[in-house]
């Protein structure tokens, strides 16, 4: 059993990971300012984790950029004998378009927020960290499947902030012994817990394909726009590596185990399935799962998109003994279970 701080634990990936960590017996302190999430997510996580889980999840409403909030979180997580064992750092902003319009906000939350967190970790002698990085680091990939050794060449402010934090982590790891750090480069996290109790609940118009499709399926939006039908792919639509959020959550557990059981480490690993699916294939699979037609329209390509982005997932398999277990049909089934049971997302609290 480890004592863990989870920043951004109320969010989409954080909430699913909290559930997997509670089920594995860990004690958690979540620090989240609910900038893009609802407290209801963590209530449901506790309910899903079952008897006894409530006492192992403390929630602090606060901001990673505020030292006082970080101090509260570290104090809450410490036992009488020891400090927190590790941090999993999800908190951040993630919308590419928004990052182009509001770059300073992205540098502030993602980069400055991570810097504050690392300073608090160093001050408390907690040097084990799992960081949410992103495949967006690779920009337009030159090699597909993309290995971790591919050049880091982001093409938008969001990607630059993730690259900057990864660099900060390399600098920190090199500065003194004792750091154990994993930067996990997620591909396209989608789906939901199979119960349909927790899932992705984006504010406003979804930025990503999968929540868009599910909102069309449930009647919240009219049709899906497919950006580009002339890509050099098998059906002309873009190909991505979709990873079930429960597989991703289990990837965090595997990374944590690897860090806690070894000496100094600096891991930079892709978390993806290694399989590519086209936009049209995802639409067809979702239609099959929900038994409804998903209207779509093929429109012009979007600037900044690549034809195909698929992970080389072999390093994570070798280093962590982890690989994805769930296929596109399960992603769509579980995603639909969440969306159909929660058509408007989590209840909005007044
Ligand atoms: N979902 C994806 O497609 C994807 C892909 C690659 C990487 N990531 C990264 O994974 C992480 C989690 O993503 P997600 O999809 O769960 O996003 P999310 O928005 O659902 O979760 C992020 C959480 O962080 C919280 N947060 C934001 N700013 C904060 C702050 N200043 N202080 C405290 N909490 C704050 C939000 O309220 C939210 O609960 C992010 O860092 C994101 O960049 C996500």
Asked whether residue 215 is domain-assigned, the answer is no
Would you say residue 347 lies in a domain?
Answer: no
| pLDDT tens digit sequence for 93-132 | 999 999 999 999 999 999 999 999 999 999 999 999 999 9
Centroid of ligand 1 to alpha carbon of 24 (angstroms):
22
Mean pLDDT of 257-278: 96
Average pLDDT over residues 151-167: 97
Rounded distance between C-alpha atoms, residue 48 and residue 21, angstroms: 12
- The residue whose two tokens read 């660099």 is 167
- Nearest residue (by CA) to ligand 1, atom 26, is 91
pLDDT at 195 over 70: yes
- Ligand 1 centroid – CA 235 distance (Å): 32
Buried b (16+ CB within 10 A) or exposed e, 300-335: eeeeeebbbbbbbbebbeeebebbbebebebbbbbb
- Residue-level pLDDT at 153: 96
pLDDT in tens, 215-232: 999 999 999 999 999 999
| 254 domain residue, yes or no | yes
Query: From the CA of 175, how far away is ligand 1's center (Å)?
Result: 27
- E strands, 171-213, in order: 180-186, 188-190
User: Residue 157: its pLDDT value, please?
Assistant: 96
Percentage of residues in the chain having pLDDT higher than 90: 93
State whether the beta carbon of 186 lies less than 6 angstroms from ligand 1.
Answer: yes
Check whether 80 has a pLDDT greater than 80.
Answer: no
Q: Which atom of ligand 1 is nearest to the CA of 10?
A: 39
Ligand 1, atom 32: closest residue by C-alpha: 63
For 103, which DSSP code? H
Give the CATH number, domain containing residue 27: 3.40.50.720
Note whether residue 45 is domain-resident.
yes
**Which range (65-69, 162-166, 193-197, 304-308) has the least confidence?**
304-308
- The whole-angstrom distance between residue 217's C-alpha and the CA centroid of its chain comes to 23
Whether 350 has a pLDDT exceeding 60, the answer reads: no
Task: State yes or no: pLDDT of 349 exceeds 70.
Answer: no
The catalytically annotated residue of 158, 186, 242, 346 is: 158
pLDDT, tens digit, for every residue of 161-190?
A: 999 999 999 999 999 999 999 999 999 999
In what helix (H) or strand (E) does residue 25 lie, and over which residues does it extend?
Answer: none
Query: Is 242 known to be catalytic?
Result: no
Mean pLDDT over 318-343 rounds to 98
Mean pLDDT of the chain: 96
Mean pLDDT of all residues in 58-72:
97
Evaluate: CB of 215 within 6 angstroms of ligand 1: no
Q: Is 6 in the pocket of ligand 1 (CB under 6 A)?
A: no
- The domain tally of the chain equals 1
Residue 228, domain member (yes or no): no
| Residue 189 CB–ligand 1 contact under 6 Å | yes
The response to whether residue 94 sits with its C-beta less than 6 Å from ligand 1 reads yes
Q: Does 339 reside within a domain?
A: no
pLDDT at residue 263 above 90? no
The Å distance, Cα 9 to ligand 1 centre, comes to 8
The answer to the question of residue 83 being in a domain is yes
Q: Is the CB of 324 under 6 A from ligand 1?
A: no
113 lines ligand 1 (CB under 6 A): yes
Q: Which residues form the domain of 140?
A: 3-192+242-275+310-325
C-alpha of residue 229 to centroid of ligand 1, in Å? 30
pTM: 0.98
In a domain, 10, yes or no: yes
């Amino acid at each position: 059993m480890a004592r863990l701080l989870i920043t951004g634990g109320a969010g989409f990936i954080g909430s699913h990971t909290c559930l997997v960590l509670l089920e594995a017996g860990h004690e958690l302190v979540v620090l989240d300012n609910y900038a893009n999430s609802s407290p209801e997510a963590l209530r449901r996580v506790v309910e899903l984790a079952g008897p006894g889980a409530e006492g192992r999840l403390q929630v602090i409403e606060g901001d990673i950029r505020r030292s006082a909030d970080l101090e509260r979180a570290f104090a809450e997580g410490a036992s009488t004998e020891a400090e927190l064992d590790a941090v999993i750092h999800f908190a951040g902003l993630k919308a590419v378009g928004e990052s182009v319009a509001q770059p300073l906000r992205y540098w502030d939350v993602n980069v400055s927020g991570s810097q504050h967190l690392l300073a608090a970790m160093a001050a408390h002698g907690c040097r084990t960290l799992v960081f949410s990085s992103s495949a967006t680091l690779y920009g337009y990939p030159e090699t597909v499947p993309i290995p971790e050794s591919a050049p880091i060449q982001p093409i938008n402010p969001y990607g630059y902030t993730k690259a900057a934090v990864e660099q900060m982590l390399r600098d920190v790891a090199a500065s003194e012994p004792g750091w154990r750090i994993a930067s996990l480069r997620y591909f396209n996290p989608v789906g939901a817990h199979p119960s349909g109790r927790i899932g992705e609940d984006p504010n406003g118009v979804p930025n990503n394909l999968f929540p868009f499709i599910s909102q069309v399926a449930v009647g919240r939006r009219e049709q899906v726009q497919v950006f580009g039908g002339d890509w050099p792919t098998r059906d002309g639509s873009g190909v991505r590596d979709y990873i079930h959020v429960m597989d991703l959550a289990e990837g965090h557990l595997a990374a944590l185990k690897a860090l806690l059981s070894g000496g100094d480490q600096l891991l930079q690993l892709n978390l993806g399935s290694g399989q590519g699916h086209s936009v049209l294939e995802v639409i067809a699979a979702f239609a099959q799962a929900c038994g409804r037609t998903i209207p779509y329209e093929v429109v012009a390509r979007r600037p900044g998109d690549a034809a195909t982005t698929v992970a080389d997932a072999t390093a994570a398999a070798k280093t962590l003994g982890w690989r994805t277990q769930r296929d596109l049909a399960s992603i769509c089934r579980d995603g639909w279970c969440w969306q159909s049971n929660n058509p408007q997302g989590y209840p909005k609290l007044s």
